[in-house]
Each structure stands twice: as structure tokens, then as C-alpha cells.
Structure 1
Amino acid sequence: MQERQWITDRRSELDTLAEQLTKQLQEVQAERDELAIAERVLNRLAEQALADAATVAPASAKVAGRAVLLIPHRGDAADEGALPGDYRKILAIVREADGPVQVRAVGERLGLDASVRGKLEPLRAKMTKLADRGWLHKRGDGRFTARP
């Protein structure tokens, strides 16, 4: 007789535990559903923030596995704030000059070792890129002026 009572009591305990676990599982599933919705909302907000930032900040792309900064065309950008900092410095130096400037003079103002030609080539490439995008004008003699 005791064994039957023990079995009945144990079955009752397990039924109660099963009800509690079922309720807890439903609560967990409801919270997981809420988290999935929150994650979708956050992803949409992040995508929108990236899209908004892309209109303000320069875009980057991958070339040969390396991140490369894309310099916007002058007409596409609201102002020079869309340019990366080093490009803004170059533009400011050229604008401050009384006339056309050589890459060497800009390099000296930036603190580059102008006596080593190799040190100026990356700067020349940046200035040429600014000219190609309409921010600077590259003259036939290789010097640069600021566009009005």
C-alpha cells in the first residue's frame, strides 16, 4: 500500500513540476520572441544610422582586401567636412597659399621630410585625388591651386 501512495504522491509532484516548467518555458519563449523583435529593430536602426553616416562621412571600400577611403566629388559633398582630416589639412594649406603651391611646400607644412622624394609621393597622390574630385586644380606645371 505504501508503494502505491508513494507513486501517487510522486506523480502529483511531477505533474506540478511539469506545469511549472511548461509555464516557465512559455515565459522564456515569449521573452525570446521579444528579443528577436528588438534585434530586428536595432538592426534597422543601425542600417539607417550607417546610411545617414554615409551621406556625411566619406565612404570606404575594400580593394585587394584593404579598406580604402573614397573621396567624394566636390559637387556631391555639402562641404569639405565630408573629407577625411588629412585631406582637409591639405586643402587648408593650399587655400592659405598666395598662389599655386608645389607638393614639396605642402609636405613641409605637414611636417614631412621633403628631402626624400618617396615621402612626398603619397601626398602627391592625395593632392591629385583632390584635383580629380574637383577640390583642387592641378596646373600643367604640377603645382596646385584651390578651386573657388
Structure 2
Amino acid sequence: MAERVWQRMSEQLADERTEAGSPVRVAGRAVRLVPDRGPGVAESALPAEYQRILTAVRQAAGPVSTRQIGEVLGLVTGTRGKPEPLRGKLTKLADRGWLHKRPDGKFTTRW
């Protein structure tokens, strides 16, 4: 059983890296699908799924947990391990300056 769980998690992580974490080659140059936030980088530069996540966090009344965002997006969050891919995306957005991750693990917008 543990091997199946490990295999499934490994596949999810690999898919996540392929989708938005690792640089992708475009015209011979490495380009991130989730760019760092900075001057001249519009939210429209993010993949659609990440834009939906940002919108959900922005519409929240205050700091939100991964589970709360998952529920807003219609994702299954009640099963252990299901919110982890979303948590990775939220953390990636925070690492790249689009969101702020608080010490309690909740997320807020930076603006």
C-alpha cells in the first residue's frame, strides 16, 4: 500500500514539475511557466489554473488555508493528501512573489 501511495505522489510531483515548476525551452531559451512577479509581468502571464487560484485568494475575506481555496475551486479536499498539489501551487505563487505565505501556513495577496 505504501508503495502505491509513494508511486502516486511521485507521479503527481512529476506532473506538477512538468506543468509549471521546471523551466521549459522556448526558442532555445529556458522559460518558467510561472514567472516571478515583477515590473512589467502581468497576471495574464500565469497559466489559467494559477490565475484561478489568485482570484480565489483575492476574493477571500482574509488569510485562507489550502483547504479553503480547494473548496472554492471545487477540488476534493477532505481526503488526506488530496490538497497537496494545490498547496504546492500556492507555495510556488508565494515563492515567486504573487502571494504571501504567513507563518501559520495561510495565504494572502501581496497587493
Seq. identity, %: 58
AA at the equivalent of 2:104: D
1:113-134 deviation digits (Å, cap 9, x = unpaired): 1101321000000000000000
What TM-score do the two structures reach when normalised by structure 2?
0.70
Alpha-carbon distance, 1:78 to partner: 2.4
Q: Which has the higher contact order (CA 8 A, sep 6+)?
A: 2
Unaligned 5+ runs, structure 2: 1-21, 26-30
Show CA shifts across 1:64-116 (max 9, x none).
xxxx9531000165210000000000000000011000000000111111101
CA-based RMSD of the aligned residues comes to: 2.1
> What residue in structure 2 maps to residue 118 of structure 1?
81
Q: 1:144 Cα deviation (Å)? A: 0.1
| Unmatched runs of 5 consecutive residues or more in structure 1 | 1-58, 63-67
The count of residues paired between Structure 1 and Structure 2 equals: 85
**Is the helix fraction higher in 1 or 2?**
1
Q: Which residue of 1 aligns with 2:96?
A: 133
Consecutive aligned runs of 4 or more in structure 1 exceeding 6 Å deviation: none
TM-score, normalisation: structure 1: 0.53
Could you say which residue in structure 2 is the equivalent of 1:78?
Answer: 41
Query: Hey, what's the Cα distance between the residues in 2 that align with 1:77 and 1:111?
Result: 32
Structure showing greater Rg: 1
Q: How does 1:19-58 map to 2 (within 5 A)?
A: none
